Amino acid sequence: MTKNKADNISKFVSEVMRALEGRDSVTIAELTENLEADLRERQEEEGDAFQLGDSKVFAAELLQGAGLSGGINTASRLQRFVSEILWNIWSAISAIRPAWWVFRGLMAYSAIWFILLKQSKSVPGSPVEWLAFLGLMFASVQIGRANLKQWWARLPLAALNVLALLVGMFWVNDIVNVRNDYSRLKSFSESNLLIYQGQPVTFAFAYDKNGVPLPMTSLKTAGGNLMFAQPTEDALSPALEALKGKSLTEANWALAKMNVTASETLYESVPAEPKDRVLRVQKVSDGNGGWVVVLIVAN
């Protein structure tokens, strides 16, 4: 086929698509899919006898054959623009459908595991579990590829998809929680904080056998490593000043990092300030020779 004839076919297909403008993009794509290849094939078979004809008549015949009412190219520019955007969104969604089929299989495995054994599990362990896992994934992909059209098949499938989406939300939430826990533990392990049952210790007092508080400035391990120390007042002052204007969470976190173990929070009603904003920082005696940092926070 000469380049000129090939160009004519490309131009003809473009004209047909233009004549179909106003239809939704999915319809246009379905009606003109492989059209250029078909016309080229026909051109090669018929040679010089082949005639392309009128693109508008061709487009009208396409619509009539497809049982679509209305004429050609009647949509406004806005409708065509919206249609194009929808088509692009649909194309993007269609492109990731196989990934969804695999994910749906994974969710089916997680859901069945949870229903049968009341346990959360997403990665198989034994060969039988792997078999079930791969079987469900294969089934999900096959169902997706089947592209079911009948309503009685699509209805339960839609319900299953919604179910998979819900399970997926819990699944993602679990992953996020695990990641957050891991980040917190990592942060704790890298800090000088004293941790008890997963939480930073903000108060630590030592007592003798009679229950009398013992003066204490630091805690050390049996090997002599410092676990916990009261900061000196001189070093603390500028750092405490810097807490003003921070949120309560940020301030508490900063105090924990400074190894300040004794702190209290007082709330003060200041409508002009955002809630939980640190307004002032004070140091007051605890009555045992130590002191407590008091955060005055907007309520």
Q: Which one of residues 7, 30, 174, 268 is an interface residue with another protein (CB under 8 A)?
A: 30
Give the total of residues touching another protein (CB under 8 A): 27
The pair of three-digit structure tokens given for residue 138, joined into one six-digit string: 């294969």
Cα–Cα distance, 38 to 33 (Å, whole number): 9
CA–CA dist 256, 193 (Å, integer): 7
| 149 belongs to the binding site for another protein (CB under 8 A) | yes
Is 85 an interacting residue with respect to another protein (CB under 8 A)?
A: no
Q: State yes or no: residue 7 binds another protein (CB under 8 A).
A: no
Among 12, 17, 58, 144, binds another protein (CB under 8 A): 58
Q: Which pair of structure tokens corresponds to residue 140?
A: 């999900």
Cα 180 to Cα 61: distance, rounded to the nearest angstrom: 60
Whether 10 and 36 have beta carbons less than 8 Å apart is answered as yes
- When asked if residue 70 is in the footprint of another protein (CB under 8 A), the reply is no
By CB under 8 A, tell whether 46 contacts another protein. no
Selected range binding another protein among 25-33, 69-77, 260-268, 287-295, rule: CB under 8 A: 25-33
Length, in residues, of the chain: 299
Q: Which is nearer to another protein, 1 or 195 (CB)?
A: 1
- Between 42 and 280, CB nearer to another protein: 42
Q: What is the DSSP string of 83-127?
A: HHHHHHHHHHHHHTHHHHHHHHHHHHHHHHHHHHHS----S--SH
Query: How far apart are alpha carbons 120 and 262 in whole angstroms?
Result: 40
Q: Between 244 and 283, how does the x/- string for binding to another protein read (CB under 8 A)? A: ----------------------------------------
Torsion angles phi and psi, residue 124, rounded to 5: -70, 155
147 binds another protein per the rule CB under 8 A: yes
Applying CB under 8 A, among 47, 65, 224, 274 the residue interacting with another protein is: 65
Q: What string marks each residue from 151 to 190 as x (binds another protein by CB under 8 A) or -?
A: ----------------------------------------
> Does 56 sit near another protein (CB under 8 A)?
no
62 near another protein (CB under 8 A)? yes
Q: Residues 76, 119, 150, 189: which binds another protein (CB under 8 A)?
A: 150
Task: Give yes or no for residue 91 binding another protein (CB under 8 A).
Answer: no
Alpha-carbon distance values, 118 to 110, 111, 129, 163 (Å): 10, 9, 15, 17
Q: Which of 7, 14, 41, 130 binds another protein (CB under 8 A)?
A: 41
Most distant CA pair in the chain: distance in Å?
A: 113
Is residue 108 within 8 Å of residue 164, measured between CB atoms?
Answer: yes
Query: Of 58-66, 85-93, 161-169, 191-199, which segment contacts another protein by CB under 8 A?
Result: 58-66
**Tokens at 201, concatenated:** 């210790």
Q: Toward another protein, which CB reaches closer, 32 or 261?
A: 32
3-state SS of 166-205?
HHHHHHHHHHHHHHHHHHHHHHHHHCCCCEECCEECCCCC
Backbone angles phi, psi at 61, to 5 degrees: -65, -40
Rounded to the nearest whole angstrom, what is the least distance from the CB of residue 99 to another protein in the complex? 18
Residue keyed to tokens 């009128």: 54
The answer to whether 36 contacts another protein (rule: CB under 8 A) is yes
Return residues touching another protein (CB under 8 A): 30-31, 33-42, 45, 58-59, 61-68, 146-147, 149-150
